[in-house]
Structure 1
Amino acid sequence: MNDLSPLASSPDDAGVLARLQQRLAADAAAEGLLDLAYTTVDSPVGPLLLAATPRGLVRVAYASEDHDQVLDTLAHRLSPRILRAPDRLDPVARELEEYFAGRRRTFDVDLDLSLSHGFRSLVQRHLPEIGYGETRSYGEVAALVGNPKAVRAVGTACATNPLPVVVPCHRVLRADGSLGGYIGGADAKTTLLRLEAAA
């Protein structure tokens, strides 16, 4: 995970290093050596790590997941050729900014769903069918994917969603209307639901 920013000792150094890192990312991409690009963005639910492959956005991670650990896992599961390359993720960052400002209800960025398989992948592919500002129970999602008895498995699929916020697992609640678990924590889930309810 090549991040040169710790080497900067002054604002001038930081600017030079930012330009060097940008050039490194561009050169790596041009040579086909950049398999995973990442950046972090600020949001109302804390800093979010964004990572993308050439196929699309592959990971959104909350700070509570430990961004360094997430990057290490991505390097092992997908490719060690990973580099901070914010420009590659500008479209995602822009859509998230619009979402948090209440100006976007769906995401249009390409997704790479390769981190999930089987039933988990099936559930995660159907989550965007739950509309902005709407919620469904775990049981309703199980029925939606054609396996009404798989309520616990739906919970696991939501809890392991590698693309929270963008793939809206926060819209899935317990049958009694309580929050249930969430990868970003209860506060983040509440914030997202309130944001959507206010629009």
Structure 2
Amino acid sequence: METAFINSPLGITRIVGDENGIAIISVSDVGTNDVSETIPEVLQDAVFQLNEYFEGKRTDFDLKLNPQGTEFQQKVWRALLEIPYGKTISYMDQTKKMGDVKAIRAVASANGKNPLWIVVPCHRVIGTNGSLTGYAGGLSRKKWLLEHESPSQQQSLF
């Protein structure tokens, strides 16, 4: 597995993957001294697409993904990929779409273990009452991501 660290508006982003796909994209508050000077070839497209996302030029990712998790977690993460850019759903809605409303805690837990920050958009899942709940990257990052993706962002008049 190859690893790269890049700057993002939300902290240092770690990208891990190989020829089988991207396995991990995570964020931390580690200092900027940890940014990779060179990006392994197998991770260059992921870096490019993430940078486009942060620049507001990309709404969908086209990456080969290879997250590691249980069969149930994989199912939950695939369901997250169906949430469109700029939209949110509740944990209950996600659970209903997956066919078992009794699994809400398990679904929320699997969302919290999502290893592919932003690309598998668990940040788009909110509480039934519209509250920002449960985000492994921190609620301030979740808020930033949802505002970044909001179709009603205030535009400059000049």
- TM interval, short-chain normalised: 0.7 to 0.9
Aligned match of 2:62 in 108, 117, 129? 108
Q: CA deviation at 1:85?
A: 5.1
- What is the TM-score of this pair, normalised by structure 1? 0.69
Aligned match of 2:122 in 158, 165, 169? 169
Percent identical among aligned pairs is 37
Asked if residue 44 in structure 1 is aligned to residue 9 in structure 2, the reply is yes
Give the helix-richer structure, 1 or 2. 1
- How far, CA to CA, are the matches of 2:39 and 2:121 in structure 1? 25
- How far, CA to CA, are the matches of 1:193 and 1:153 in structure 2? 23
| Cα shift readout 1:43-94 (whole Å, capped 9, x = no counterpart) | 1111110000221000011115x7xxxxxxxxxxxxxxxxx85332110011
Q: Unpaired runs of 5+ in structure 1? A: 1-35, 67-83
User: In the TM superposition, what are the counterparts of 1:175-194 in structure 2 within 5 Å?
Assistant: 175-194=128-147
**Number of aligned positions between the proteins:** 145
Q: What's the RMSD between the two structures over aligned residues?
A: 1.6
| Cα shift readout 1:92-147 (whole Å, capped 9, x = no counterpart) | 0110011111111110010003x111221111011010000000000100111111
Asked if residue 90 in structure 1 is aligned to residue 44 in structure 2, the reply is yes
Asked if residue 152 in structure 1 is aligned to residue 105 in structure 2, the reply is yes
Letter in 2 for 1:174: G
Letter in 1 for 2:23: V
Give the greater-gyration-radius structure (CA): 1
- How far, CA to CA, are the matches of 2:142 and 2:44 in structure 1? 24
Letter in 2 for 1:51: V
CA contact (8 A) 1:139 1:149 kept: no
- What is the TM-score of this pair, normalised by structure 2? 0.86
Large movers: runs of 4+ above 2 Å: 84-88
Matched residue, 2:20? 55
Q: CA deviation at 1:149?
A: 1.8
Give the strand-richer structure, 1 or 2. 2
CA contact (8 A) 2:19 2:42 kept: no
Q: Unpaired runs of 5+ in structure 2? A: 31-37
Letter in 2 for 1:59: I
- How far, CA to CA, are the matches of 2:23 and 2:97 in structure 1? 24
Q: CA deviation at 1:188?
A: 0.8
